[in-house]
Amino acid sequence: MKHSERRKILPNIIEEARAINPQLIDIRRAFHRDPEISNQEERTAEKILKILEEIGGFEIRSGIGGHGILADLRGENTGKNIALRADMDALSIQEETGLPFSSQNPGIMHACGHDGHMTCLLGAAKLLKAHQSELQGSVRLIFQPAEEMAPTGGARKMIEGGALEGVDAVFGLHVWPNLPIGKIGTRPGSLMAASDHFSITIKGDSAHGAMPQLGHDALVAGAQFISAVQSIVSRNTDPLEACVVTIGVCRAGTRYNIVPGSCYLEGTVRTYSPEVRKNTEVRMRQLLAGICAAMECEAEISYENGYPALRNNPRMAEYMIEEITNLFGAENAVKMERPAMTAEDFAFYLEKVPGAFAWLGTQATDDSECWPLHSSHYKSNEDALWRGAAFLASLALNFKS
């Protein structure tokens, strides 16, 4: 079948996706009511398996990389093997949306939209099964646990479990409240940053707050490091390169009149360039050693390389733009000018197989407040569900090379 002939099915995909949106909303809300954190997605996996079995036709493997699921659908024609991925886990956040289907699990919430990702992929499964006769080659659905468990993540275990065996290309998406509903954005090359994690323990000697000369203040050393570490961004990094150093945890002291004998710091480094990533760690260690020497303290640092930068294959990113254009019109295909400093372990898949990742717009068109991802108030726009399902299905149905 010629490529132009195959595109005749796209209007059906749009209509069919719209038609199943009420079902998709019910599915998404069921996930949202019962969120589970990384590596504990047992009930979530059960829901996915039940829906896949109801759809039928998929060869299913479960228990991959923990609670991960692989589901293969073979077309009636020879062709390429495409993988589509959705993440499953929720965050340790107490929901404050007030929605009638709010999380029933205290302190856990789908605040990053993974409930929507799973729903879009299950919607794509329904559409692909309906068009199995038009499918060239095969499609593999990857339901991945533990995406939020940085810096380790769940993608590597899924890859070790065979998620990419025999796969020619891999695609994924993420809901994106910074884009208006109806628009889908991507770009060739860097789309999201590398994400590293560090923790530091500075050890000094405690003393009476009225006689600080008798101790070695670990908190002052920590405070100097917090300030000095930003010079890595301002003075050791090319101004045209991106680098973020954030310290999100600082713990020291037990009482107002005691010089702290220890200080604990924890944070993250975000970069795109491998060279900047390496240099940031080196300079961080040098600064810490120098400050502690000057303050007569000692320090231990643990620095973990987490998710790599997410880099879209240029050809695959252009294919995504082409599919968005054909499905929803050129006005809704957004070629992003800049990447984001957030991270995604989908990057591990892209290190193994050509592919691309996209942002699915969820921003309301009215004046309602738009909360960011990872907020306890985050509300996903459910009108994006059918769009995500149609988009993922079309990526599999129309892929040629």
What is the value of pTM for the model shown? 0.93
Does 219 score more than 50 pLDDT?
A: yes
Q: Which domains does the chain carry?
A: 3-192+309-397 (3.40.630.10), 194-307 (3.30.70.360)
* Residue 324 in tokens: 């968005």
pLDDT at res. 18:
97
State the average pLDDT for the chain. Answer: 95
What does the alpha-carbon distance between residue 398 and residue 196 come to, in Å, rounded to a whole number? 36
CA-CA-CA-CA dihedral for 120, 125, 127, 132, to nearest 10: 160
Task: Give percent above pLDDT 70 in the chain.
Answer: 96
Q: Rounded to whole angstroms, what are the CA distances from 125 to 43, 165, 217?
A: 20, 20, 59
Residue in 166, 47, 63, 55 with CA at minimum distance from that of residue 114: 47
Encoded tokens for 210 = 């009225």
**Quick check: 8 pLDDT over 60?**
no
Phi, psi of 393 (to 5 degrees): -60, -40
Q: What pLDDT shows up at residue 3?
A: 46
Instruction: Name the percent of the chain lying above pLDDT 90.
Output: 93
pLDDT at residue 1 is higher than 50: no
With CA atoms as reference, report the closest residue to 180 among 314, 25, 367, 35.
367
Among all residues, which ones are annotated catalytic? 89, 147
pLDDT tens for 188-200 read 999 999 999 999 9
Alpha carbon distance 44, 51 (integer Å)? 11
The terminus-to-terminus CA distance of the chain in angstroms comes to 14
Is the confidence at residue 234, as pLDDT, over 80?
A: yes
Q: Taking residues 27-52, report their average pLDDT.
A: 98
**Look-up of token digits 């709010």:** 102
Residue among 180, 163, 184, 173 at smallest CA distance from 82? 163
Give the torsion sign (CA, 229, 235, 236, 237).
Answer: positive
DSSP string, 329-372: -GGGEEE-SS--S---TTHHHHHHS-EEEEEEEEE-SSS---PP
